[in-house]
Amino acid sequence: MTTHSSVQTRLSLRSVVVDLTPLLPGGENGGAKVVAMELVREMARLAGNCHFKLLTSESSHGDLKVLDAENVERVCVSGAGAGGAGMEHTNGFSGRLRSAAARALPEGMLRLAQKAQAYLADRTIRSSRLRDWKADLLFCPFTAPFFYDEQIPVVSLIHDLQHRYYPQFFHPEELKQRDLHFRRACRLADRLICVSDYVRWTIREQSDVAPDRVTTIHTAIQHRLPDPLPSRVRAVLEEHKLEAGRFLLYPANFWLHKNHEMLLIAFGMYLNKHRDGNLKLVLTGEAGARMNYLREATRHLGLADRVVFAGYVSEADISALLESAKALIFPSLFEGFGISVVEAMAAGRPVLCSDVTSLPEVAGDAARYFDPRRPAEILRAIEEIEAASDLEEDLIARGNRRVEQIGRPEDMAARYLEEFEDVVCGRSARGAA
């Protein structure tokens, strides 16, 4: 296993630029935001002799202050005075145009307009700034190289290619942007890092990228959540009128592929069969129109008093909910990795989850699987975890072993640094040939 000292000894990198401009406040980036932030924190800790310059946007610059360190510097590259002409934030409008759009457009259309602006901004950002910053490498944890310079090696992180498999879940403009960003990464990046072998397989299926340019590094951030304080656990349970061990938890944004409808149908079927039970379902995720739609659906299904919509919650509150849940339930239709699954295992909770995409690879033998498209199968999983204490104990034990197999954050960060080093050395060797 790679150790901290061995990474420091072999690493010749002195400057890495990390493009965090697509990062949004709150939870709108989903797990991609968590991965990016944990990677920066761990890589900077491991590679103390390397300087990490984080390119940020106005909307998230302040939020990223938590990453500040002796060898970590934030640079806001959006807005007047932040980086000069042609350096606008890749996820938003600037000045009067942004304000006018916010007033005139509905929330959903505004996001689409912002993404269109991202494309236009990207086409102009091909300056020598990376060379001015003396970057050895550009790392793009949100896939697309927005600040490309042909003289600087690029590594892009690919979380998933969901848009290629479920295009119906995306607005046509968003679909176009996602595809554009993926194709740009395939064309410009020296190395594509995938969060699972499943994602690597989809890249091989959906592109002609050479196999030696694609690698897998599992996401090992399962211990990032703080230990739950008893006082916080009590407060969270009281706030949402919950009883410890008497609710299932689904921590996921309310995106279509998260499959909340099938979960609600299955949970309704469970309650109809077990009228004397007191099990509840807790859903967390960024509030918005989709959450409101699902909340209304629970009313029509007669589930309003048994389904809790907690909205976007802090890491401390997620930790408290995981500590107290009967089990994690995860009926997603598509995952590049599935961080919440491993976090639940790390918290000592059993996992009930989909048997599709990357989830069997990530959870291994430590989950009770079901077909997420069949509510009857979800129902059976809920019934089994409620009825059999030996199943719960077995899943918890298997989950503990699986967490150890996935590794620690420092192991993950060391592998990323090794890939960076390999890319830079490979580029240098080709240039000297």
> 328 and 211 in one domain?
no
Maximum alpha-carbon separation in the chain? 75
pLDDT for the residue 78: 73
Based on the domain organization, do 134 and 155 belong to the same domain? yes
From first to last of its 433 residues, what are the pLDDT tens digits of the chain? 555 555 554 678 999 999 999 988 776 777 889 899 999 999 999 999 999 999 999 988 998 999 999 999 999 987 433 333 333 333 333 333 444 444 444 555 555 555 555 444 444 345 568 888 899 999 999 998 888 899 999 999 999 999 999 999 999 999 999 999 999 999 999 999 999 999 999 999 999 999 999 999 999 998 889 999 999 999 999 999 999 999 999 999 999 999 999 999 999 999 999 999 899 999 999 899 999 999 999 999 999 999 999 999 999 999 999 999 999 999 999 999 999 999 999 999 999 999 999 999 999 999 999 999 999 999 999 999 999 889 999 999 999 999 999 999 999 999 999 999 999 998 876 665 5
Do both 371 and 358 map to the same domain? yes
Amino acid (1-letter code) at residue 391: L
In a domain, 26, yes or no: yes
CATH classification of the domain holding 290: 3.40.50.2000
Domain range holding 370? 230-406
Q: Which of 233, 127, 138, 227 is nearest to 188 (CA)?
A: 138
Taking residue 243's Cβ as centre, other Cβ atoms within 10 Å add up to 12
What single DSSP character describes residue 321? H
Within this chain, do residues 324 and 256 fall inside the same structural domain, yes or no? Answer: yes
pTM of model > 0.75: yes
Q: How many domains does the chain have?
A: 2
Rounded to 10 degrees, the C-alpha dihedral 254/255/256/262 comes to -30
Q: Are residues 93 and 177 in the same domain?
A: yes
Residue with tokens 């830079």: 424
Question: Is the domain of 247 the same as that of 277?
Answer: yes
Same domain, 394 and 426: no
pLDDT of the residue at 17: 96
Query: Do 401 and 414 fall into the same domain?
Result: no
- Burial, 273: exposed, middle or buried (Cβ in 10 Å; 0-12, 13-18, 19+)? exposed
Same domain, 86 and 35: yes
Question: Is 225 domain-assigned?
Answer: no
Write out the two tokens for 129.
Answer: 């700034």
Q: Are residues 244 and 168 in the same domain?
A: no
DSSP 212: G
Task: Identify whether residues 368 and 417 lie together within a single domain.
Answer: no
Residues 150 and 259 in one domain: no
Reported as type and span, the H/E element at residue 178 is helix 172-188
Output the six-digit token pair for 108: 């959903």
